[in-house]
Amino acid sequence: MKSCTTMPFFLGSLLILGSVPGYSQAESDNAPRGATVHVVITDMAVQDNNELPQLLKNDVKVKQGKTMYTVTQLIPARDQAAGLQLMILIDETLNTQAVGNNLTDLKEFVKAQPATTAIGIGYMANAGVNVVQQFTTDHEAAVNAIRLPRGGLSAMDSPYLSLISLVKGWPKQNIRREVLMITDGIDRLHGETPTASQLGPRFAARGTTGPTVYHSMPTISVDADSASETSQRYNVIVNSIYSPGVGRAARSSWDLELGLGGLAKIADETGGECYSLGTSNPVSFKPYLDRFQKNLNNQYYLVFLGEPKRKGNLQRIKIWTEKSNSEIAAPDNVWVPGLEDKDNDKNK
């Protein structure tokens, strides 16, 4: 039996796939002034039945507010630049009967990955991740690490806190970094903790202060925001496949919708995709995985010059193209190094 490692993990034995050729971290003396920003984007077809032409550097536009940024590099993530670290996260609260047969589709997907893809397998529980397989290009080893989830609850079940734990422990490298979460997205940790009413009458007698009225979680988990921001900060694309879980929350249409909404929010904001049939159990993961693979095959390393502040910060940006049939998926925010970061780099 494989031993489990609890987050934070990584990566003494990880095969380093190397930096992307031409994906320069340094700015030349003659380069336009600005902070160099690196991000991975995905070119998605507007209509799947039409051809998706390769993007060129001049095809991609980047804008922050009213300011257009200069794109300096656009490198297709293929051939020598095809390196990918893909972490597959499986929620321990999943319904084993619902997800069981679909794990076969997941194993076939892992087997079919190219040699340039390093895959890790982890299980989410107790606001962390048990990594049962470190990143490896031995895809048979990754397949053998995939098992049925426990189908039970732990003390702190939050896929969003688990994702944050993973991303913060992930050493930065100049290759693509992606997550595929298989979960119902329900924050059972905070969903079981009612929040105080902010508006209602609270039913107190006039002139007195009555007891506070509490309600179930009114919106998508606040930790979904934190997980999204953390993933964007460290340039990790998050994708998810919705699969039903267990327990009372998994029978609540309110909790189900909030869970799916949280997954869709993170995927959209990080440049990934959320795959689901609403809150129904998918018959097969294969159509989702085929779509996910198509996205992986149409990714690019984008480098542009942003406007730095004194300290590095996340900046809201818009990345788009007017190329026929192309629609770019990209993070809503990117990390722009600050002037102090540049000074520190020069002193190293």
Give pLDDT, residue 219.
85
Give pLDDT, residue 348.
40
Phi, psi of 111 (to 5 degrees): -60, -35
Report residue 6's pLDDT band, with 50, 70 and 90 as the boundaries: very low
Q: Which two tokens stand for residue 325?
A: 């049939």
Give pLDDT, residue 45.
86
State the Cα torsion 336-340-345-346 to the nearest 10°: 130
Q: Which two tokens stand for residue 183?
A: 């979960």
Q: Is the pLDDT of residue 341 over 80?
A: no
Q: What is the pLDDT of residues 57-98, one digit of tens each?
A: 999 999 999 999 999 999 999 999 999 999 999 999 999 999
Distance from C-alpha of 274 to C-alpha of 39, rounded to nearest angstrom = 20
Q: How many domains does the chain have?
A: 2
Q: Is residue 14 part of a domain?
A: no
In the DSSP assignment, the letter for residue 234 is T
Give pLDDT, residue 16.
42
Write down the H helix ranges in the chain: 96-99, 102-111, 139-145, 159-168, 188-191, 222-233, 253-270, 286-296, 339-347
Give pLDDT, residue 189.
92
Q: Is residue 22 part of a domain?
A: no
Q: Is residue 338 part of a domain?
A: yes
Q: Are residues 147 and 230 in the same domain?
A: yes
The last residue of one of the domains, among 296, 314, 339, is 296
3-state secondary structure (DSSP) of residue 81: helix
Give pLDDT, residue 172.
84
Q: Are residues 124 and 192 in the same domain?
A: yes
Overall average pLDDT of the 22-39 stretch: 67
Q: Is residue 316 part of a domain?
A: yes
Q: Are residues 160 and 309 in the same domain?
A: no
Q: Which two tokens stand for residue 303?
A: 């480098």
45 is in which domain, residue-wise?
A: 35-75+302-347
Q: What is the pLDDT of residues 192-250, one digit of tens each?
A: 655 665 555 555 555 555 566 666 677 899 999 999 999 999 999 999 999 999 999 99
Closest alpha carbon to 73 in 263, 305, 298, 332: 305
Q: Are residues 264 and 144 in the same domain?
A: yes
What's the half-sphere exposure (Cβ side, CA atoms, 13 Å) at 30? Answer: 0
Q: Are residues 113 and 144 in the same domain?
A: yes
Q: What is the pLDDT of residues 139-186, one digit of tens each?
A: 999 999 999 999 999 999 999 999 999 999 999 888 999 999 999 999
In the DSSP assignment, the letter for residue 32 is P
Question: Residue with structure tokens 């190219």?
Answer: 114
The last residue of one of the domains, among 256, 275, 296, is 296
